[in-house]
Amino acid sequence: DVSKLIERLGEKHSLSVSEYETLVENFNEENAEILRKYADKERRAHYGNKIFIRGLIEVSNICKNDCYYCGIRRSNREVDRYRLTADEILECVDTGYGLGFRTIVMQGGEDSAFTDEFLVEVITEVKRRYPEVALTLSLGERSRESYMKLKAAGADRYLLRHETADSLHYSKLHPPELTLSHRMDCIKSLREAGFYVGCGFMVGSPYQTAKTIAKDLKFIEELRPEMCGIGPFISQKDTPFKDMQNGSADFTCYLLSIIRLIHPPVLLPSTTALGTIDSYGREKGILAGANVIMPNLSPLEVRGKYALYDKKLCTGSEAAEGLRELKKRMSAIGFEIVNERGDISTSKRED
Ligand code: SAM
C-alpha cells in the first residue's frame, strides 16, 4: 500500500518506475501530509531551517527556439524583445551583491548574441568583482566546447530542465528540431564540464501523465542533480498551448516532497511559477521540502517583458528589492533566509 511505498522511499531513496507511478496516482491530502513530514525531516537534516536565495537576472527574452508552451518562443510576435548589455548585467550583479545575494543566476532565451566570447567576458568580470559569489547560468542548449569554456571562465552551476524524460511527451511540447536525446546529451556535457547541474520539469504540462512523471522521478533518482527546478505549467495567451489547463500548486508540492526524498541534499527551489499560481505558493513549496527561492533581480524596465506565462510575478516579495517582505513571510513559517552561496550539503547533521 501507498504508505509502505512512502516509507521505503524515505529509507532507500529509490523506487521502481511503476512504484513511482503508483505514488503519483495516489496524490491526495493524506499522502501529501505524510510525504511532507518525511521531506521536512530530510531537509532539516541537511539545511536546518535555512533558505538560500538566488538573484535571478533575466538577461534576454530573444530566443531561437519555438517551444509550444513558452511565452518568449520565436514565433510570438507580441513580445517586446530585449537583451541586456554586459554593463547592465554587471549593474544587476552589483545591486544583488549589495542586497546580500551570494548566488547570481543569469537566465535567458537562446539568444545568438550570447557568444562564448561575450559570456566569458561577463563571467570573468563577475568573478573578478565577487570571487565568493556562485554564478549560475541557464541559457539553454550549447555545445560541449561552449559549456567547457563557460566553466573554465568561472561559472559554477547550470540549470537546464530536462522538461520530460519521455521522448514522445517531449515531442508534443517541442518542435521536431528539439529532441530529448539532445537535451540529455547537453545535461551529460554539463556534468562532464564540472558544473553543478540542475534538471527539472513543469508540473501539469500538456500531455503529461502519471507514467511520464514516474519517468521524470526515475531520471532524477539516477542523475542525482545538485539542483532540481519544478513548477506548475501556466498557459501563455500567445502560444499554441494558450487554452491548456494550468498545473496545480498542491500537486507541485506533492512532487517537491517526493523529490526531496529521492535525493535528500538536492537544492530545490520553491519557484516563481508556484508563487504565481497560488498566492501562498512559495510558502507551501518550502513547507513541502524546498529550500531555495529565486527573487527577480532584472532591471525594472524589462521585468514585465520576460513573460514565459501569463501573470508571472515579478514584484513584491518576488522582487529582489522585496527581500524584507520575503524574509518576513519565511520567518512567519519558521524559516530563515541566509546570505550564503548555498552549496549542496555533503553531510547530514546529527540531531
Ligand atoms: N532557454 C533556457 C532553457 O531552455 O533552459 C532557459 C529559459 S526557459 C524560459 C526556463 C524554463 O521556463 C523552462 O525550462 C520551462 O520549464 C519554463 N517555462 C517556460 N514556459 C513556461 C510556462 N508556460 N509555464 C511554466 N514554466 C514555463
What does the mean pLDDT of the chain come to? 97
Atom of ligand 1 nearest to the CA of 309: 23
Atom of ligand 1 nearest to the CA of 110: 1
Distance 308 CA to ligand 1 centre (A): 7
156, 116, 99: which is closest to 132 by C-alpha?
A: 156
Residue 351: its pLDDT value, please?
Answer: 53
- pLDDT above 90 (res 198): yes
41, 51, 103: which is closest to 348 by C-alpha?
A: 41
Question: Tens digits of per-residue pLDDT, 137-157?
Answer: 999 999 999 999 999 999 999
Correct CATH for 2-338 of 3.20.20.70, 3.90.1170.50, 3.40.720.10, 3.30.2310.20: 3.20.20.70
Q: CA 318 to CA 321: how far, in whole Å? A: 9
Kindly tell me the burial class for residue 168, based on how many C-beta atoms sit within 10 Å of its own C-beta (0-12, 13-18, 19 or more): exposed
**Is the Cβ atom of 119 under 6 angstroms away from ligand 1?**
no
pTM comes to 0.97
- pLDDT above 90 (res 106): yes
- pLDDT above 90 (res 314): no
Would you mind telling me the total number of residues written for the chain in this entry? 351
Residue 8: its pLDDT value, please?
Answer: 98
Task: Give nearest CA residue, ligand 1 atom 5.
Answer: 140
Query: Can you tell me the mean pLDDT for 84-101?
Result: 97
The answer to whether 266 and 239 have CB atoms below 8 angstroms apart is no
The complex scores an ipTM of 0.99
Question: Tens digits of per-residue pLDDT, 288-307?
Answer: 999 999 999 999 999 999 99
Distance 9 CA to ligand 1 centre (A): 29
162, 163, 111, 113: which is closest to 139 by C-alpha?
A: 111
Residue 350: its pLDDT value, please?
Answer: 60
Residue 320: its pLDDT value, please?
Answer: 80
